[in-house]
Amino acid sequence: MSWIEDPAFTADEPFGPQTLPYGVLPGGIAVRVGDQALLLRGLALGERLGPLVATGTLDALLAAGRPAWSELRARLVEIVSAASAPRGAELAGLDGAVLPFTVADYVDFYSSRHHAENVGRIFRPDGEALLPNWTHLPIGYHGRAGTVVVSGTPVVRPHGQRRTSAGPVFEPTRRLDIEAEVGFVCGGPVASRLTPSQAVDHVFGVALVNDWSARDVQAWEYQPLGPFLGKSFATSVSAWITPLEAFAVARVSPPPLGNDVLPYLVEERPWGLDVDLEVEWNGVVVSRPPFREMSWTFAQQLAHLSANGATVRPGDLIASGTVSGPARDERGSFLELSWGGKEPVVVGGDERTFLEDGDTVRITATAPGESGSVVGLAEVVGTVSPADER
Ligand code: CA
C-alpha cells in the first residue's frame, strides 16, 4: 500500500502510479497523484536530478534528455509506491497549475485522414476531398508559440476579417470552433535531420491540445498559405504532461496510407498510440475521437519537420492535428460535427453549431497501461469569453 491515500491514486484510475504526469503548481514542480500532487522540491533526489526540478518550470528537465527523464521517473515510482512518506514529501491540491514549460516553437499537423477528408468536403465541395500530397508527407504549419495557454485560461472570442456578400468585414468571429488534438512536448539536445527512431528520444511527454479556430476567418484567409489569424489567438494545453514512457503498452500501428512513403519517413516499429479522447461541450459528451486512427505518427512528424535541417529544441510543442474517427460521433471539431453549420448538434436540449459566449469545452483522454492499468492525459478545458468591445 502506498503512503498516498487517495481513491483516485490506483492503477484503474487515470492518474494512478502508472501515469505520474508533471506539472507546475504555486509550490513548484509536481507530479499528479490521483486528485492531488506530490511537490518535488523537498525530496532527496540527488545532485543530478534535484536541480532539474528545483525551479518553477519544466524547462531544465526537458533539456536534460531521456536518461535523466527515465531515472527521475523510476525514482518517483519508488517514492510514490513506498509504504511510508519519504523525508521531504509534501502533497498539494491541483489548483493554480500554470503553463509548465516555455513553449519554444509550436507546430500543428493535420494527420487524421477522416478530418482532412471532412474539411476538404466542407471547404472545397467541388474538389477532391484529399489533396494528392497528403498520403506522402505529414502536412503541417508553423503556429504561434506565444499564445499557447494552460488549460483553464478563458478564451476571448477573437475579432477577424471574414467575407460577406458585401465584401470583407472585421468583426468578432461567428464560427468559433475547437480542434481536439494530442500534443507532444519536445526535449533533449537541439537536433535536426532526425530519423523517426531518433525522434522518439526528443519527446518528453504528451498533453492534450485544443486548437481553437475561427472558421469564418480561416475560410477567407487560408489560401494560398494556410492558417494564420483564424488559429493564432489561443491554443490551450493540459496543465500536466504525461511522460512518453507511460505509453509503452498503448503503441499501435497506424492505418495504412495506401502508398509507400519515402525512406526518411519509414518507421521500423510505428508509434501510433491507442488513445481515446472525449469531448464535452457544456458538460455533455458530444464526441469520442480515436487517436489510433491517425495516419502519421509523432515520430514521422518530427522526422519530417527536421528533414530540411530545421532544429527540434526543448519546449517545442508538436500537435497532431484534429483527431477524427470515421463515425459522426468521433469527429474532433464542431465544423465536422455540424457539417459546416448545416447539421446542428444537440447539447443538453439546445441545438448548436459553433461556440457561444459562456460555452465550456473540456477534452480528456485515456490509454491502456501496463497490467491492465489506465494511463490518463489531463484535461484541457476552456470557456469562451465575449469579444472585446472594439
Ligand atoms: Ca489544428
Cα torsion for 202, 20, 274, 226, to the nearest 10°? -50
Q: How far is CA 3 from CA 8, 38, 250, 351, in A?
A: 13, 12, 28, 48
Q: Does the residue 15 lie in any domain? A: no
Region 33-59: what's the mean pLDDT? Answer: 97
* pLDDT tens per residue across span 184-226: 999 999 999 999 999 999 999 999 999 999 999 999 999 899 9
List, in order, residues 6 or more apart from 282 with CB less than 8 Å away. 347, 348, 359, 360
The CA 321 to ligand 1 mean position distance, Å, reads: 5
- Residue numbers in the known binding site for substrate are 110, 124, 218, 222, 322
The answer on 364 and 244 residing in a single domain is yes
* pLDDT tens per residue across span 129-175: 999 999 999 999 999 999 999 999 999 999 999 999 999 999 999 99
Distance, in Å, from the CA atom of 171 to the CA atom of 158, rounded to the nearest integer, reads 8
The CA 249 to ligand 1 mean position distance, Å, reads: 26
* Contact of 262 with 232, CB cutoff 8 Å: no
The answer on 111 and 88 residing in a single domain is no
How many domains does the chain fold into? 2
Q: Given pLDDT bands bounded at 50, 70 and 90, which one contains residue 1?
A: confident
The answer on 355 and 232 residing in a single domain is yes
Cα torsion for 66, 70, 109, 115, to the nearest 10°? 160
- Interior CA angle at 48 toward 248 and 24, to 5°? 65
The answer on 176 and 67 residing in a single domain is no
* pLDDT tens per residue across span 223-265: 899 999 999 999 999 999 999 999 999 999 999 999 999 999 9
Whole-structure pTM value: 0.98
Please indicate whether residue 114 is annotated as part of the active site: no
The torsion angles phi and psi of 19, rounded to 5 degrees, stand at: -105, -65
As a three-state string, the secondary structure of 62-131 is HHHCHHHHHHHHHHHHHHHHCCCCCCCCEEECCCCCECCCCCCCEEEECCCHHHHHHHHHHHCCCCCCCC
The answer on 311 and 250 residing in a single domain is yes
CATH number of the domain within which 77 lies: 2.30.30.230
Exposed e or buried b per residue across 360-375, where buried means at least 16 C-beta atoms within 10 angstroms of its C-beta:
ebbbbbbbbbeeebbb
The answer on 287 and 230 residing in a single domain is yes
- Residue numbers in the known binding site for Ca(2+) are 108, 179, 181, 211
pLDDT over 80 at 10, yes or no: yes
pLDDT over 90 at 14, yes or no: yes
Active-site residue among 115, 136, 142, 202?
A: 115
The answer on 345 and 228 residing in a single domain is yes
Q: Does the residue 359 lie in any domain? A: yes
The answer on 162 and 277 residing in a single domain is yes
The CA 267 to ligand 1 mean position distance, Å, reads: 24
Exposed e or buried b per residue across 168-200, where buried means at least 16 C-beta atoms within 10 angstroms of its C-beta:
eeeebbebbbbbbbbbbbbbbeebeebbbebbb
Q: Does the residue 8 lie in any domain? A: no
Element (H, E) at 236: strand 235-237
Region 4-30: what's the mean pLDDT? Answer: 97
Q: Which of 54, 69, 92 is the last residue of a domain?
A: 92
Q: Does the residue 84 lie in any domain? A: yes
Which conformational region is residue 198 in: left (phi greater than 0), alpha (psi within -120 to 50 degrees), or beta?
Answer: alpha
The CA 67 to ligand 1 mean position distance, Å, reads: 31
Q: Does the residue 4 lie in any domain? A: no
The answer on 237 and 334 residing in a single domain is yes
List, in order, residues 6 or more apart from 47 with CB less than 8 Å away. none
pLDDT over 90 at 390, yes or no: no
User: What nine digits make up the cell of 36?
Assistant: 492531488
The answer on 222 and 143 residing in a single domain is yes
Radius of gyration of the chain (CA): 21
Nearest CA to 5 out of 35, 29, 26 is that of 35
Q: Which domain holds residue 307?
A: 106-385
* pLDDT tens per residue across span 95-117: 999 999 999 999 999 999 999 99
Mean pLDDT of the chain: 97
Distance, in Å, from the CA atom of 377 to the CA atom of 21, rounded to the nearest integer, reads 8
The answer on 128 and 74 residing in a single domain is no
List, in order, residues 6 or more apart from 8 with CB less than 8 Å away. 15, 16, 34, 35
CATH number of the domain within which 154 lies: 3.90.850.10
The CA 216 to ligand 1 mean position distance, Å, reads: 15
Q: Which of 32, 65, 92 is the last residue of a domain?
A: 92
Q: Which of 92, 120, 141 is the last residue of a domain?
A: 92
The single-letter DSSP state of residue 215 is: H
Q: Does the residue 70 lie in any domain? A: yes
The answer on 313 and 223 residing in a single domain is yes
Q: Does the residue 17 lie in any domain? A: no
Look at residue 292 and give its three-state secondary structure: helix
* pLDDT tens per residue across span 324-382: 999 999 999 999 999 999 999 999 899 999 999 999 999 999 999 999 999 999 999 99
- Residue numbers in the known binding site are 108, 110, 124, 179, 181, 211, 218, 222, 231, 235, 322
The CA 285 to ligand 1 mean position distance, Å, reads: 20
Q: Does the residue 345 lie in any domain? A: yes
